[in-house]
Amino acid sequence: MSLNELLAGVRVVGVVCNQWGDTGKGKVVDVLAEKWADVIARGTGGANAGHTIVCDGREFIFHLVPSGILHDSKGKVNVIGEGVVLDPCTLVDELSQLDRAGFSCDNLRISHEAKLVLPHHLVLDRAREFKKGTGKIGTTGRGIGPAYEDHVARRGLVVNDLLNQDAFVKKLAKVLENARLELRAMELDEPVLHEIFNHPLLSNGTFYHSGKLFDEPAIVRTYMEDYAKRLAPFISDTGSFMRGTVGKKNILLEGAQGLLLSVDHGTRPYVTSSDPSINGLAKGVGLRERDVQLCLGIVKAYMTRVGGGPFPTELGGKESEGYCNDHSHNKEFERSAYSHVPLNAQNDLERGIALRIKGQEYGATTKRPRRTGWLDLVALRYAVQFNGPLLFLTKADVLDGCEEMRVCTQYSYTGPDYWYGETLLKSGTLLDRFPVDSSVLEHVQPLYTTLKGWNTPTHSIKSFDSLPRELKEFVRFVETHSQGKMCGLSNGPDREDIIFF
């Protein structure tokens, strides 16, 4: 099926991730924005997202601006919806980068109801992770959790408050009062506080006040002078705009994070603080889930995860998790120490490293090495229940030359007796269903089917029929075991590297 056939008569499409994020959503959104969409909207998460687009040999990484922005000059409207937690510092920086690169953003719209990320959100996020020691979530440090907390606690500020200084000052005083209480209770030493505040996204330490912890006037100045003035022309009621556009224009919803990171459906507590499912996404732009006619659930041909939390199919298991969360093991280190290691290495930890190097699996937001592992169809079956059966495969080309690959289809529970819903799990219990509770998930052993790999380079192939037989079999295997239907694949980072079947 061609792209035109797939999208015939369709007006609203969603692109979401069926894994733990970083599956290539940005690339797919950029392509669909160019070929089909009139309006492209983000509705969940914030600057924790890092969406990469490669065009004409240039790489762009967007955190807040939707991935359709490179088509702004063709009149395409990019929307940051009300479900987003918006850090104006990151956004202003992104707009300047676009400007320097020669791209316009004249048609960008920012929801007046988007949640405003403030300095105390980043500070609390970092301070909590610092205090935790072991068992860290491994957040991106972008203030996401605390920002959503202020929202549900009914004290958070929204983007509209940037337009009204008096309201901003009053509400800020209230949220800071609360943040001070929490921060004081942590009893952090002065040098630690200095280090936490001394970050470019926190105005390089200028928001710190040794007595009051937060320098309120400095925050007001920066938000009013540097951010409000720059962003005001883009701020509007995007919810009404979106609802009024349904059925009239082609709308593309861009997911952030991934289903397994959902605060509602993910592997808690190792999750983000929004719901990246298609339901959460539709709500976050002011639409209903039933307005979305087609949802593309992105599936990477293998899996990655950044930060903490169970990852049953991780290559190298716990050793890999520790290795990846050790700050000295960055991209440069791996390039010099491990570039000779083949994808078919015998040792699983090394194999995971080789996969990371080949797939360039380093955080687009934090630069952290992403933990790598085999495709998990137990998890995919679960994600399909929320995001629907339509699948899109990415990064299959990274597995070119892999002699054989493992795909997980079931788990065997290995932990102590544990009630999970109506089932008493005992060591040896087989699980077909994905347990979101991390205390179960960390005690499962994946049961694998081994599939034969392909030797032919797939990068420049332009049709499903021309793909190597083993890759077609891989696609069919994934469909059969996930009850999904694959509608296309991406076989390289560039815009051109895409096939719809």
Residue 14 in the binding site for ligand IMO (CB under 6 A): no
Q: Which of Mg ion, ligand IMO, ligand GDP, none does residue 369 bind (CB under 5 to 8 Å by kind)?
A: none
Q: Which of ligand GDP, Mg ion, ligand IMO, none does residue 27 bind (CB under 5 to 8 Å by kind)?
A: ligand GDP
Nearer to ligand GDP, 29 or 440 (CB): 29
Distances (CA, A) of 429 to 1, 299, 418: 41, 27, 11
- Three-state SS string across 159-188, please? HHHHHCHHHHHHHHHHHHHHHHHHHHHHCC
Query: CA angle 493-498-499, nearest 5°?
Result: 155
- Give the residues across from 418 on adjacent strands: 425
Residue 33 in the binding site for ligand IMO (CB under 6 A): no
Question: Do the Cβ atoms of 373 and 310 come closer than 8 Å?
Answer: no
Task: Tell me which residue of 136, 130, 135, 103 sits closest to 30, measured CA to CA.
Answer: 103
Task: Collapse the DSSP code of 467 into the 3-class scheme (helix H, G, I; strand E, B; otherwise coil) and give the result.
Answer: coil
Q: Which of Mg ion, ligand GDP, ligand IMO, none does residue 140 bind (CB under 5 to 8 Å by kind)?
A: ligand IMO
Residue 63 in the binding site for ligand GDP (CB under 6 A): no
Task: Kindly write out the interface string for residues 37-76 of this chain, putting x where it contacts ligand IMO by CB under 6 A and - elsewhere.
Answer: -----------xxxx-------------------------
In whole angstroms, how close is the CB of 494 to ligand GDP at the nearest point? 8
Nearer to ligand IMO, 28 or 341 (CB): 28
- Distance (Å, whole) CA 400 – CA 418: 41
Task: Kindly write out the interface string for residues 368-407 of this chain, putting x where it contacts ligand GDP by CB under 6 A and - elsewhere.
Answer: --------------------------xx-xx---------
Residue 245 in the binding site for ligand IMO (CB under 6 A): no
- Three-state SS string across 5-52, please? HHHCCCCEEEEEECCCCCCCHHHHHHHHHHHCCCEEEECCCCCCCCEE
Task: Kindly write out the interface string for residues 312-351 of this chain, putting x where it contacts ligand IMO by CB under 6 A and - elsewhere.
Answer: ----------------------------------------
- Distance (Å, whole) CA 363 – CA 498: 23
Residue tagged active-site, from 30, 38, 51, 291 = 51
Residue type, 197: F
What are phi and psi for residue 486, nearest 5 degrees? -80, 130
Residue 307 in the binding site for ligand IMO (CB under 6 A): yes
Nearer to ligand GDP, 285 or 398 (CB): 398
- Distance (Å, whole) CA 351 – CA 75: 45
Task: Collapse the DSSP code of 219 into the 3-class scheme (helix H, G, I; strand E, B; otherwise coil) and give the result.
Answer: helix
Residue tagged active-site, from 22, 215, 291, 400 = 22
Nearer to Mg ion, 50 or 352 (CB): 50
Q: How many residues bind ligand GDP (CB under 6 A)?
A: 23
Question: Do the Cβ atoms of 198 and 205 come closer than 8 Å?
Answer: yes
Residues that bind Mg ion (CB under 5 A): 22, 50, 364
Nearer to ligand IMO, 150 or 215 (CB): 150
Q: Which stretch binds ligand IMO (CB under 6 A): 92-100, 251-259, 285-293, 389-397?
A: 251-259
Identify the helix (H) or strand (E) that includes residue 357.
helix 348-359
Question: Do the Cβ atoms of 55 and 495 come closer than 8 Å?
Answer: yes
DSSP string, 442-466: TTEEEEEEEEE---S--TT--SGGG
- Distance (Å, whole) CA 386 – CA 129: 30
Residue 320 in the binding site for ligand GDP (CB under 6 A): no
22: annotated active-site residue: yes
In whole angstroms, how close is the CB of 452 to ligand IMO at the nearest point? 30
Selected from 283, 376, 493, 499, the binder of ligand GDP by CB under 6 A is: 493
Tokens 């048609």 sit on residue: 107
Strands 485-490 vs 498-500: parallel, antiparallel or unpaired: antiparallel
Selected from 7, 13, 19, 24, the binder of ligand GDP by CB under 6 A is: 24
Residue 460 in the binding site for ligand GDP (CB under 6 A): no
Selected from 7, 14, 22, 387, the binder of ligand GDP by CB under 6 A is: 22
Q: Which residues bind ligand GDP (CB under 6 A)?
A: 17, 21-27, 50-52, 54, 360, 364, 394-395, 397-398, 490-493, 497
**Active-site residues: which are they?**
22, 51
Q: Which residues bind ligand IMO (CB under 6 A)?
A: 17, 20-22, 48-51, 137-140, 142, 144-145, 256-258, 261, 270, 272-273, 306-307, 364
